[in-house]
């Protein structure tokens, strides 16, 4: 039997700290950011008898974990046990105590690995390290999330509708806003789940019932086919543009028909609007560039003008490279870099304007909660880096060499037209306006952001 304990000190009352764990989104926020965890079924409570079923990667396979809550004693304790999963046994106690104006969260875990002494010999050490990494990640997320929520604790909670809630950013955003006490609803294109806060729409068929979206305080649109997910063909480029045009136009048109308009409408955009600008420092006041991404993004932002005209606060977020081990550019880079085959791409002089996934989430929260925020905002770290520095830093975090230059020709063969804007060109983008609005980044330094994303402290 292994025993593991971990303490986290948060600058919040015991009641508010305990209640954070009671929100449905807390589970998603506490999962390690480097693991793709799929929730299969979950009761919306941590009270005794509640069941949660999820799948997570365990080596080369996905394992199912069935957990049951057995103790619920707010605001001091709750407990869950594993009914089925990768361990022979797993018991997890969460204990909460007050220390001055702070709260101590003590996690106590007892577990047994399968196969007895044989399992201990071959896997015991690795599992212990994995558990330690997981709880460091939980500590950091808990402290930061509570701190960011505290910034707007006196503001009224909002009823928020999110389009694109199943994506890399949307999944974490919905979970974070939920733990802040907001009422979260999701626009979905599949069949609606029973007793869920979901609303059906179909941008292609122009289906969206205006009555369904009456009364929301904030509407967030993160949807659109992934720009860097697949090789660009004529069909793919049309999909990239159409997915943004159809969805944003439909949502904007419907908002204009509402009797009770939202107070804020936030729509995703991208720094691709600036084009390839070499060493020029770019802010929200910089002129657009040229090319497919510029044309796509300019049109995308224009679809919100009708909502601006009726007096709704509209925010367009121009997002850089979002760092996440489970999606986007970083996920694609991990395998070759782990194999020691990483290095500068096409010379490595091009700028990479990045932002951590958590800073992306916190920035969106800041923008919708701050009534003075309006218009265009660059969501990138204050410290963009050249691609060769990014490669070197990622190699250092992974403890792998990252000096092998990657020439342009094979990248063009693999990625086609996409290779030029995605890999060989760049922008040095600065988040001038959001800094002026009082937002503070958690990850201003690339290495710290990568270590948090990958659990490599």
- Residue 120 predicted with pLDDT over 70: no
> Which pLDDT score is estimated for 286?
98
Note whether 48 and 31 are within 8 A (CB): no
Q: Which fold has domain 159-454?
A: Rossmann fold (3.40.50)
Average pLDDT score, the chain = 93
**φ and ψ at residue 186, rounded to 5 degrees:** -130, 135
- Residue 400 predicted with pLDDT over 60: yes
* Tokens describing residue 278: 């070499």
- Residue 121 predicted with pLDDT over 70: no
Name residue, tokens 């990494």.
Answer: 133
Question: Domain spans of the chain?
Answer: 2-150, 159-454
> Which pLDDT score is estimated for 157?
97
* Residues ≥6 apart with Cβ < 8 Å to 353: 271, 320, 321, 378, 380, 381, 384, 426, 427, 428, 429
How would residue 122 be classed by pLDDT, with cut points 50, 70 and 90? low
Specify the 3-state DSSP secondary structure of 151: coil
Burial of 429 by CB count in 10 Å (0-12 exposed, 13-18 middle, 19+ buried)?
buried
Report the candidate in 279, 408, 417, 414 with the shortest Cα–Cα distance to residue 345.
408
- Residue 124 predicted with pLDDT over 90: no
How far is 217 from 183, CA to CA, in rounded Å?
10
* Residues ≥6 apart with Cβ < 8 Å to 287: none
How would residue 119 be classed by pLDDT, with cut points 50, 70 and 90? low
How far is 359 from 353, CA to CA, in rounded Å?
13
Q: How far apart are the first and last CA of the chain?
A: 27
* Tokens describing residue 173: 């955003």
How far is 255 from 112, CA to CA, in rounded Å?
54
Q: What are the tens digits of pLDDT across the range 58-114?
A: 767 788 999 999 999 999 999 999 999 988 999 999 999 999 999 999 999 999 988
* Residues ≥6 apart with Cβ < 8 Å to 161: 185, 186, 187, 199, 213, 216, 218, 219, 220, 262
Average pLDDT over residues 244-258: 98
Q: Does 432 sit behind a cis peptide bond, omega within 30 degrees of 0 on the bond before it? A: no
| Structural domain 2-150, CATH architecture | 2-Layer Sandwich (3.30)
DSSP secondary structure letters along 78-96? EEEEEEESSSSEEEEEEEE
Percentage of the chain beyond pLDDT 70 is 98
Buried b (16+ CB within 10 A) or exposed e, 115-141: eeeeeeeebeeebeeebebbbbbbbbb
- Residue 246 predicted with pLDDT over 70: yes
Q: What are the tens digits of pLDDT across the range 267-303?
A: 999 999 999 999 999 999 999 999 999 999 999 999 9
pTM for this model (two decimals): 0.95
Report the candidate in 434, 153, 443 with the shortest Cα–Cα distance to residue 266.
434
Beta strands 354-356; 281-282: pairing state: unpaired
Report the candidate in 308, 325, 211, 320 with the shortest Cα–Cα distance to residue 265.
308
Specify the 3-state DSSP secondary structure of 33: coil
Q: How much is the CA Rg of the chain, to the nearest whole Å?
A: 23
């Amino acid at each position: 039997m292994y025993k593991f304990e971990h303490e986290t000190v948060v600058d919040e009352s015991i009641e508010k700290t305990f209640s954070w764990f009671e929100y449905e989104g807390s589970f998603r926020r506490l999962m390690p950011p480097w693991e793709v965890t799929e929730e299969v079924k979950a009761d919306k409570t941590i009270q005794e008898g509640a069941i949660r079923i999820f799948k997570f990667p365990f080596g080369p396979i996905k394992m199912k974990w069935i957990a049951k809550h057995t103790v619920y004693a707010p605001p001091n304790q709750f407990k869950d046990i594993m009914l089925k999963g990768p361990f022979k046994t797993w018991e997890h106690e969460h204990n909460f105590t007050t220390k001055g104006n702070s709260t101590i969260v003590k996690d106590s875990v007892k577990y047994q690995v399968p196969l007895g002494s044989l399992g201990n010999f071959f896997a015991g050490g690795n599992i212990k390290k994995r558990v330690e990494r997981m709880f460091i990640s939980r500590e950091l997320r808990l402290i930061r999330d509570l701190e960011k929520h505290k910034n707007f604790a006196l503001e009224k909670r909002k009823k928020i509708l999110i389009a694109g809630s199943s994506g890399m950013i949307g999944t974490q955003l919905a979970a974070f806003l939920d733990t802040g006490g907001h009422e979260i609803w999701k626009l979905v294109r599949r069949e609606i789940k029973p007793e869920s806060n979901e609303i059906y729409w179909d941008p292609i068929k122009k289906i969206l019932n205006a009555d369904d979206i009456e009364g929301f305080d904030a509407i967030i649109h993160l949807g659109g086919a992934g720009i860097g997910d697949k090789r660009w063909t004529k069909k793919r480029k049309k999909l990239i543009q159409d997915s943004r045009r159809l969805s944003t136009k439909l949502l904007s048109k419907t908002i204009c028909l509402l009797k009770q308009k939202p107070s804020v409408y936030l729509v995703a955009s991208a720094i691709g609007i600036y084009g390839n600008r070499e060493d020029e420092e770019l802010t929200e006041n910089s002129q657009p560039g040229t090319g497919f991404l510029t044309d796509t993004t300019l049109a995308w932002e224009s679809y919100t003008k009708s909502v601006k005209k009726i007096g709704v606060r509209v925010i367009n977020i121009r997002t850089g490279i979002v760092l996440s081990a489970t999606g986007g550019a970083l996920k694609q880079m991990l395998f070759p870099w782990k194999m020691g085959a990483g290095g500068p791409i096409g010379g490595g002089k091009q700028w990479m304007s990045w932002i951590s996934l958590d800073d992306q989430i916190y920035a969106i929260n800041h923008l919708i909660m701050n009534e003075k925020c309006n218009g265009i905002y660059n969501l990138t770290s204050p410290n963009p880096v050249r691609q060769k520095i990014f490669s070197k830093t990622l190699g250092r975090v992974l403890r792998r060499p990252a000096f092998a230059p990657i020439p342009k020709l094979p990248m063009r063969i693999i990625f086609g037209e996409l290779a030029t804007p995605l890999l060989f060109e760049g922008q040095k983008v600065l988040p001038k306006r959001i800094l002026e609005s009082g937002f503070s980044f958690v990850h201003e330094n690339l290495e710290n952001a990568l270590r948090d994303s990958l659990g490599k402290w």
